[in-house]
Chain A
Amino acid sequence: MDNNNIDFKDLWKKQTVNQPNKEDLMARLKQFKKAGLRSLWKTNILLFATSAFIVFIWYYYQPQFISTKIGIVLAIVAMIMYVGVYNGLLRIYKDIDTNQTNQEFLQKLILIKRKQQFMQSTILSWYFVLLLAGICLYMYEYASRMTVFYALITYGITLLWIGFNWFYMRPKQIKKQQAKINELIVKFEDINKQLD
């Protein structure tokens, strides 16, 4: 039998379709918006609570040294930067113009993923550096009131903890993020090649 005997168009259009009413769609839209708002609240409340806690410490204990204050500021800056960049990345991704040809759209997706890949590892490293500097400065005032022995132990444990995070957690986290993004980039590039 030759090609023309199979009427693909006819078969294609026989697929059962169930058109939900418009109210369902609008309910879904509301749900969408709510979910977006909720995730925004979650990260920002967390950030706000941590900052409020730190400011409370500042106010309550009245640190004398400037190093303590700088330390507090650095820690807050680190957190704001991290959340800010992360929110920004998510927004870029959500706002890609969908009215482009598939080819342009795929190229945009690849570009954004590359940017995301770079930002994530860079920002994560900066986050750790700022936090480390902040904590060390913050601790100085209190350590200076301890005996040398206890001060050394305090700093030792803190640095050990930070070292563990820097040398173990950070690379692991970056690797995990990169693997996920790389896989997607490869996939999108493959699809884009289909259009060559």
Chain B
Amino acid sequence: MSYQVNGHTIEHDEEGYITTLSDWSKELAEEIAKTENIDMTSEHWEVVNFLREYYDEYQIAPAVRVLIKAIKKSMGPDKGNNKYMYELFPYGPAKQACKIAGLPKPTGCV
């Protein structure tokens, strides 16, 4: 199973998470978002970039509760709340945003 981006083939698992984290690119993120029926806006990118930075620092994809709390701390309560995050990523901010960000599925997320 794979995504096609600019003539490159990028492998993913049965749920769509890429298998090699270093394969990620912005173009790939747009491609993954399409399969999730998400039209990437600057608000989506803000969350995806935040997740990538979090992973870079801590080597984990955070649980949704932790993600929302961290967003609240860094971007304020208008963005760090369930409603805002689920409007951006209706099938779960951690799950969908992590997939688009090229990260593993959050630990403890089934």
A in complex with B? no
Q: Which residues of B contact A (CB under 8 A)?
A: none
Q: Which residues of A contact B (CB under 8 A)?
A: none
